[in-house]
């Protein structure tokens, strides 16, 4: 069957590997563009959050390309509520599409339903093949995450603007072409080498600004939804450290394990899980402050409830922990240029703040 899914950063290519392993014809979604968003917005309720609109736009694009089955990870987006996929289905139905939709929820929460859905997806493939596919998925996710993180560290030092992004793109293609776990590992090494061969300035890593990225999961993981924030920060000379990488996400949400310590950090401010990533955003801000980061960027879809709760606590938190926080609420009207200007100002502020801090610290140190 012709199968597709929502684009989600580099993980898109890992999912492609798994599904084609199972013998499906995979329609790989393109990275969402402004057109995708416009399309999704047109058929979404006005106040739906941006993940809802962008994913709907992507679905419409892949359906046009012939997709018959849509798969989706349930954990993303909907503050874990059920309406997200259900409403997508109905809206697509009104537009005359009738794809089969398979929603996956964290396997440990509803093991039986999970198994049924896996069986549906696996069709005639043997369990052995499924296992092989899952191993490949995991390996690819890991190396894709690794390459991305490396690129975030290197980009602030690049000499020619855009050279790291270009190298990363080529490295990702290498991973994409790999058909087995071994090939993936080998491609990873080649990719890493390629990235490291890019000419960079020789700077003390301690001198680079470090910025923590927090917020709602989709806008963190989908660069198209956050206007390629990490690239922008890198080009401004700051190392971006995202809180969620696909590998953590898989750990935390798919296997349903929770990182206790972030929750404990947030406890005095938000004692209970409020859905989405609201509480994590608070805990992670504290974490970054303790690690000596220069600032935090909070990313959230406009009208995203858990992040609004978190944001209302941010001013007090930022004061108390002594870490600047920039909150970016994103909707379909948010412009690339606007985000760029705000980031530039934020980076400038962090830079002068650091200079001031080192000046006051200097006389005391010997």
Partner 1 sequence: MKRTAVIGIPRYLSYFSFGELWERYFEHLGFEVTISPPSNQDILDEGVRETVNDACIPIKLFHGHVKSLRDKADYLFVPRLGGTRTRYTVCPKFLGLPDMVKYSLSGLPEVLAPRLDVRQRSIGAWRELVKLGVQLTGRRLAASRAFAQARRVLADKVSEIQREGLPALGFPQPSDSDLTVGVVGYPYVIYDHLANGGLLEQLLRQRVSVRTPELVTDSQMKERSQQFPKDLFWFYSNRTLWSGLHFMDADRLDGLVHVTAFGCGPDAMVGKLLEMESRQRGVPFLSVMVDEHTGEAGVATRAEAFVDMLRRRLRGGSAS
User: Please, which residues bridge with residue 70 across strands?
Assistant: 4, 101
DSSP conformation letters of 257-318: ---HHHHHHHTTT--S--STTHHHHHHHHHHHHHTT-SEEEEEEETT-HHHHHHHHHHHHHH
Scanning 145-153, 267-275, 286-294, 345-353 for contacts with partner 1 by CB under 8 A, the matching segment is 267-275
Residue 87 binding target from partner 1, ligand SF4, none, CB below 5 to 8 Å by type: partner 1
Nearer to ligand SF4, 78 or 133 (CB): 78
51 binds partner 1 (CB under 8 A): no
Q: Is 303 in the site for partner 1 (CB under 8 A)?
A: yes
Binding partner of 80, given ligand SF4, partner 1, none, CB within 5-8 angstroms per partner class? partner 1
Minimum CB separation from ligand SF4 for residue 60, in Å? 19
User: Least separation, in Å, of the C-beta of 299 and partner 1?
Assistant: 13
269 binds partner 1 (CB under 8 A): yes
Q: Between 47 and 128, whose beta carbon lies closer to partner 1?
A: 47
- DSSP string for 34-50: HHHHHHHHHHS-TTS-H
User: Pairing mode, if any, of strands 238-242 and 69-73?
Assistant: unpaired
Query: Quick one: tokens of 111?
Result: 């093991």
Please, which residue, 29 or 51, has the CB nearer to ligand SF4? Answer: 51
Q: Which option in partner 1, ligand SF4, none does residue 315 bind, with CB closer than 5 to 8 A by kind?
A: partner 1
The footprint of ligand SF4 (CB under 6 A) covers 49, 51, 77-79, 216, 276, 301, 304-306
Q: What is the 8-class DSSP label of residue 8?
A: B
135, 145, 142, 121: which is closest to 19 by C-alpha?
Answer: 121
| Cβ contact 119:200 at 8 Å | no
Residue 280 near residue 220 (C-beta atoms within 8 A): no
Which residues make up the interface to partner 1 (CB under 8 A)? 44-49, 79-83, 86-87, 90-91, 94, 269-276, 278, 302-306, 308-309, 311-313, 315-317, 329
């Amino acid at each position: 069957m012709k199968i597709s899914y929502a684009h989600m950063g580099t993980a898109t290519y890992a999912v492609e590997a798994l599904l084609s392993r199972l013998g499906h014809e995979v329609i790989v979604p393109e990275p969402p563009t402004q057109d995708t968003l416009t399309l999704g917005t047109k058929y979404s309720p006005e106040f739906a959050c941006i993940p809802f609109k962008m994913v709907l736009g992507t679905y419409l694009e892949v359906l046009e390309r012939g997709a018959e089955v849509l798969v989706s990870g349930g954990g993303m987006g909907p503050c874990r509520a059920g309406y997200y996929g259900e409403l997508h289905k109905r809206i697509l139905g009104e537009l005359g599409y009738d794809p089969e939709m398979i929603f996956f929820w964290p396997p440990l929460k509803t093991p039986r339903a999970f198994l049924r859905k896996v069986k549906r997806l696996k069709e005639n493939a043997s369990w052995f093949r499924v296992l092989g596919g899952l191993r490949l998925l995991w390996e690819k996710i890991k190396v894709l995450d690794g390459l991305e993180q490396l690129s975030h560290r290197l980009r602030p030092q690049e000499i020619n603007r855009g050279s790291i992004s270009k190298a990363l793109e080529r490295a990702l293609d290498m991973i994409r072409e790999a058909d087995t776990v071994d090939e993936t590992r080998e491609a990873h090494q080649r990719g890493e080498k390629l990235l490291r061969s890019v000419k960079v300035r020789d700077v003390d890593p301690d001198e680079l600004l470090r910025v923590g990225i927090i917020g709602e999961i989709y806008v963190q993981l989908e660069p198209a939804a956050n206007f390629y924030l990490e690239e922008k920060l890198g080009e401004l000379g700051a190392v971006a450290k995202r809180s969620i990488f696909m590998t953590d996400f898989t750990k935390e949400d798919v296997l349903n394990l929770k990182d206790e310590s972030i929750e404990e950090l947030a406890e005095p401010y938000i004692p209970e899980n409020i859905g989405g990533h609201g509480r994590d955003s608070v805990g992670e801000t504290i974490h970054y402050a303790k690690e000596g980061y220069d600032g935090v960027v909070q990313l959230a879809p406009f009208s995203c409830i858990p992040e609004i709760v978190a944001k209302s606590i941010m001013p007090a938190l930022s004061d108390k922990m002594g870490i600047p926080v920039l909150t970016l609420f994103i909707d379909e009207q948010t412009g690339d240029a606007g985000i760029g200007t705000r980031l530039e100002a934020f980076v400038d502020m962090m830079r002068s703040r650091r200079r001031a801090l080192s000046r006051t610290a200097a006389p005391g140190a010997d």
